[in-house]
């Protein structure tokens, strides 16, 4: 078995983490048990470019139980949990190509190793694997039945490829499923971004001014959580509807140019580039902290920040670099501008990834059943899968809900009854 992980000796700790996360992933466990019986992915080669975490390990185990031959590579150079990668190889016989902190050439070498596996189904978190298949491994793209995309940024890239007529196989926008983004992006990113920032800085949230760039699903979740911890929260937006929503949710809304002077902590969650630029950094207070929780490390203009700094002190604390601006203003950049929740903490809690990855697993089964019959475009997750995941999660949480009465069904289906 070929693989490339940091150190197989870390496997026992990784296994403990995988099994601990599994306790909080009852929906995925139920799907895994069914997959083990019915083998819906029998003999299928699957390559998944995802954050290599304990939760992803449980998705990989589920696909493997369904009969798939699974290979994993990382979707971010800084998010790999080396102990989990080691355990996947040693304890679960799942090849992994991922080492935390790998450089760009190694990152792409690992993606190419996953493509060498000749996948017919792929998973992506940010569309790097699909992009490689389209740009450099075109022959290998021909055998792909479908690809599942986990995050907003990936879906944006794939929709752009679709519109340009460049898409070579069907992709499923798993991120856009309600059973994914309403929970994972909002509550998962919300909580784990706070976790990452606190682990990196030991920062007291209460009473500090936190600037949240982007009031989408992730931004809302994070803004909600830091407000709950006593922060004074300022939101920046470019979308008038989201900006209004933030204002009516009780947050201060202003442009970044103005927020820059007020904030103690800045967090970008936009999926856009250069949301924080030198002109903003120039206005910031001494010891302001900047972090990103959007997919790519481009939300903060790091080359611009580097250029304007008189000195850079790397690693003043784990995951903290100090940029000195002018003679003595210190700006702290967390985790090199990469996803703070994965770089400095453990990513989303398993309980919320349970829903995202249950959606992914069911979606893989769905595409397999339709192999060769799916239109080449970006597909939404069918409602029946979203509802199935939410019902299973409610059941696991021992929450019951009401059912429509026949009378209510009839009432909702007619337009006749009024005042
Ligand atoms: N950290 C994680 O684990 C994690 C989890 C899920 C998604 N993500 C990533 O987080 C990012 C946001 O995802 P989302 O689901 O919230 O997307 P979204 O589309 O719901 O929200 C993004 C928001 O940012 C706003 N925005 C865009 N440019 C801006 C700018 N220059 N200034 C201020 N606001 C701006 C948009 O108007 C939008 O409201 C994406 O890159 C996504 O891939 C990260």
Query: For 162-191, what is each residue's pLDDT tens digit?
Result: 999 999 999 999 999 999 999 999 999 999
- pLDDT over 90 at 417, yes or no: no
Question: 237: Cβ below 6 Å to ligand 1?
Answer: yes
User: Ligand 1, residues 269, 293, 352: which to mutate, most atoms within 8 A of Cβ?
Assistant: 269
Model confidence at 286, pLDDT cuts 50, 70, 90, reads very high
| pLDDT (average), residues 357-382 | 97
| pLDDT (average), residues 112-126 | 98
Tell me which residue has its CA closest to atom 31 in ligand 1: 275
- pLDDT over 90 at 138, yes or no: yes
Q: Are 48 and 59 contacting, i.e. CB atoms less than 8 angstroms apart?
A: yes
Give the closest residue to 44 by CA, choosing from 376, 357, 358, 371: 371
| pLDDT (average), residues 135-149 | 97
Question: 351: Cβ below 6 Å to ligand 1?
Answer: no
- pLDDT over 80 at 318, yes or no: yes
Model confidence at 249, pLDDT cuts 50, 70, 90, reads very high
Tell me which residue has its CA closest to atom 25 in ligand 1: 214
Provide the pLDDT for residue 351.
Answer: 97
| Cα 385 to ligand 1 centre (Å) | 24
- pLDDT over 80 at 240, yes or no: yes
Provide the pLDDT for residue 409.
Answer: 95
pLDDT tens digits, 54-103: 999 999 999 999 999 999 999 999 999 999 999 999 999 999 999 999 99
Strands laid side by side in the 146-149 sheet: 96-97, 69-74, 45-50, 121-124, 146-149, 171-173, 378-379
pLDDT tens digits, 364-374: 999 999 999 99
Provide the pLDDT for residue 84.
Answer: 98
| pLDDT (average), residues 366-386 | 96
Q: Are 382 and 155 contacting, i.e. CB atoms less than 8 angstroms apart?
A: no
Mean pLDDT of the chain: 97
13: Cα within 13 Å, side-chain hemisphere = 8
Predicted TM-score (pTM) of the model is: 0.93
Provide the pLDDT for residue 3.
Answer: 98
Provide the pLDDT for residue 317.
Answer: 98
| pLDDT (average), residues 16-39 | 98
- pLDDT over 90 at 418, yes or no: no
411 SS3 class: helix
Provide the pLDDT for residue 105.
Answer: 98
Question: 295: Cβ below 6 Å to ligand 1?
Answer: yes
Question: 319: Cβ below 6 Å to ligand 1?
Answer: no
| Cα 237 to ligand 1 centre (Å) | 10
Helices 54-65, 350-369: crossing angle, 10 deg rounding: 30
Provide CB contacts within 8 A for 185, sequence distance 6+.
152, 175, 216, 217, 218, 221
| pLDDT (average), residues 37-62 | 98
Write the DSSP symbol of residue 398: T
| Cα 412 to ligand 1 centre (Å) | 36
Model confidence at 416, pLDDT cuts 50, 70, 90, reads confident
Provide the pLDDT for residue 57.
Answer: 98
| pLDDT (average), residues 299-317 | 98
């Amino acid at each position: 078995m070929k693989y490339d992980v940091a150190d197989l000796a870390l496997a026992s700790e990784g296994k403990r983490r995988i099994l601990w996360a599994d306790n909080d992933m009852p929906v995925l466990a139920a799907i895994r048990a069914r997959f083990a019986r019915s083998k819906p992915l029998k003999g299928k080669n699957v390559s998944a470019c995802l954050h290599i975490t304990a939760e992803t390990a449980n998705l990989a185990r589920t696909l493997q139980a369904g009969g798939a031959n699974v290979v994993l590579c990382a979707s971010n150079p800084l998010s790999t949990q080396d102990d989990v990668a080691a355990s996947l190889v040693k304890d679960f016989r799942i090849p992994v190509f991922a080492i935390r902190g790998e450089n760009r050439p190694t990152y792409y070498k690992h993606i190419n190793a996953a493509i060498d596996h000749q996948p017919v189904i792929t998973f992506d978190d940010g569309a790097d694997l699909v992009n490689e298949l389209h740009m450099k491994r075109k022959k290998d793209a021909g055998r792909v039945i479908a690809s599942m995309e986990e995050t907003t940024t990936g879906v944006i890239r794939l929709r752009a490829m679709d519109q340009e007529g460049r898409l070579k196989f069907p992709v499923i926008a798993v991120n856009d499923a309600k059973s994914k983004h309403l929970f994972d992006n909002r509550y998962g990113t919300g909580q784990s971004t706070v976790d990452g920032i606190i682990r990196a800085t030991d920062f007291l949230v209460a009473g500090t001014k936190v600037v949240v760039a982007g009031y989408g699903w992730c931004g809302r979740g994070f803004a909600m959580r830091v407000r709950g911890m006593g922060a004074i929260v300022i939101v920046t937006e470019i979308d008038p509807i989201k900006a209004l929503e933030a204002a009516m949710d009780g947050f201060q809304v202003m442009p970044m140019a103005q927020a820059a002077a007020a904030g103690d902590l800045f967090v970008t969650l936009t999926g856009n580039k250069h949301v924080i630029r030198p002109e903003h950094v120039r206005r910031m207070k001494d010891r302001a902290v900047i972090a990103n929780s959007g997919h790519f490390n481009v939300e903060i203009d790091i080359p611009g920040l580097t250029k304007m700094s008189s000195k850079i002190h790397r690693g003043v604390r784990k995951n903290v670099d100090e940029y000195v601006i002018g003679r003595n203003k210190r700006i702290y950049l967390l985790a090199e501008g990469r996803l703070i929740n994965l770089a400095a903490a453990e990513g989303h809690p398993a309980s919320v990834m349970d829903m995202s990855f249950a959606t992914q697993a069911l979606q893989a089964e769905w595409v397999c059943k339709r192999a060769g019959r799916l239109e080449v475009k970006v597909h939404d997750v069918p409602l029946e899968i979203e509802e199935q995941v939410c019902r299973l999660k409610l059941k696991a949480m021992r929450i019951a809900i009401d059912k429509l009465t026949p009378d209510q069904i009839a009432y909702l289906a007619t337009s006749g009854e009024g005042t």
